[in-house]
Amino acid sequence: MKKTICFLLSLILICGLLPSAVAASNAAALPVSGRFGVNHTFTLDENGVMTVEGEGPMVESEEARFPGKEYTYGDPADIRRSVLRVAILPGTTAVGDGAFAFFTEMSEIVLPDTVTAIGANAFRYCVSLKELSLPEGLTELGEGAFTQCMEIVSVRLPEGIRELPAKLFQSCYSLEEVSLPAGLVAIGDSAFDECVKLNGVALPESLQRIGSSAFHKCRALTAVSVPDSVTELGGNAFSCCSSLSELSLGEGLTAIPDRAFLHCRSLTEISVPDSVSEIGPYAFCGCENVSSVYLPASVVRISKSAFYTYPEICLTTVRFGGSEEQWNAIEWILEAPSVSADRVNRAELKAEILFDEAHSAENLMFDCGPAVTPENLGDLDADGSVTASDARLTLRASVSLEHFGLFRTQKADLDLDGSVTAADARGILRTAVGLTDA
């Protein structure tokens, strides 16, 4: 018994020492110094401060790589996890591609005024970086330069920046505020994708292009004003901005692309500018609180899924800037569905169409989404029949193993209690074996 107790105590002591031993093995011995690419050198002191010195741009070769690229994660000699602060001395003109990527403990970077360019992925996944002051002479930023810098709260971009590259601040989850330069021309694809705390952005009058998914999932964004200078808006540009309640679109746009404002659930009204001629698939899909839309007479093509939502929260009023004749001439496009086949059969609900000529048509139809019918009730997999597979899906949803959107919830809710339960699964199973009708 005593031997057993002694063995257990020894095991506990050994396990208690393991974390510190592992931590020690993952830290490089300090101080350390060496080459930082071809033109630069570095020193890393006992306090975790890395000083980088050299002339011209940071570049690397096969013989002289950047220090962080010489190691794999967990390598005892890896210096990246020992760096707490970086200071680049004057003389450096460009930070190289991936130069400080995965320096996960670095909380501050000091860049000299001589730096005019920052390369692709230069500071990618610097998850502890909080302080970011960019030099005034900066004119060029590489793709993903600050991707996944999850602690940065605010950024001011220098006036010399004309284009923001793709994925520049993607997944910077703490970013709340960004100041864009007055002469900015383009915001690249996914530049601010998943900046979930970004609560405001002033788009400059010089802006011409907003890329695909540029502000996707910016869930704290409450207001957007797209200036008249913008002529190109990418798909998913502001999709899933669930707090967006104020939207102003400029007269430079000629089309609203696919999924541009998908699931912007806080919008209550939409005004499409008079310059727009086409509204793409799912452009305002899932904007479930929108009850009123203004469409200009310039619109000649509209995707049938553009305002796709659910029957009980559908549009009630469409204000049209032209005549009834122009309205009837609009080409309604039914794109190939990417979801279940039953969603092709849209439920046309009555909406009041108000025309510019001061008369209205109370009974015109407006396409608003799928409806639950006796034919599709209980048919969760949309294969045209109610089977045991549908019952299984319903049972999984009842215990939160399967997620149903509102439409499928309605198809599964046989007892009309507003939720999917085991009782609904039982009813669907009875239907599947012919004991009752859904």
* pLDDT, tens digit, 9 for 90 and up, residues 40-52: 999 999 999 999 9
Give the model's confidence band at 377: pLDDT under 50 very low, under 70 low, under 90 confident, else very high: confident
pTM of the model: 0.76
99-116 average pLDDT score: 96
pLDDT at 438 exceeding the cut of 60: no
In a domain, 378, yes or no: yes
In a domain, 252, yes or no: no
pLDDT at 345 exceeding the cut of 70: no
Q: Which of 25, 26, 27, 43 is nearest to 35 (CA)?
A: 43
In a domain, 98, yes or no: no
Return the pLDDT at 16: 44
Higher pLDDT, 68 or 7: 68
Q: Which residues pair with 140 in a beta bridge?
A: 117
In a domain, 134, yes or no: no
Peptide bond into 76 cis (omega under 30): no
In a domain, 304, yes or no: no
CATH of the domain at 396: 1.10.1330.10
Give the model's confidence band at 225: pLDDT under 50 very low, under 70 low, under 90 confident, else very high: very high
In a domain, 178, yes or no: no
Q: What sign does the CA torsion over 374, 377, 381, 385 have? A: negative
Give the model's confidence band at 339: pLDDT under 50 very low, under 70 low, under 90 confident, else very high: very low
3-state secondary structure of 164: strand
Return the pLDDT at 361: 45
**Residue 269: its H or E element:** strand 269-271
Give the model's confidence band at 318: pLDDT under 50 very low, under 70 low, under 90 confident, else very high: confident
Query: Where do the DSSP E strands lie in 9-149?
Result: 32-36, 40-44, 49-54, 56-57, 85-88, 92-95, 108-110, 117-118, 131-132, 140-141
Count of structural domains within the chain: 1
Domain residues for the domain of 388 are 372-438
In a domain, 411, yes or no: yes
* Contacts of 139 by beta carbon, 8 Å cutoff, 6+ apart: 116, 117, 158, 160, 161, 162
In a domain, 399, yes or no: yes
Return the pLDDT at 308: 78
Q: What is the CA radius of gyration of the chain?
A: 29
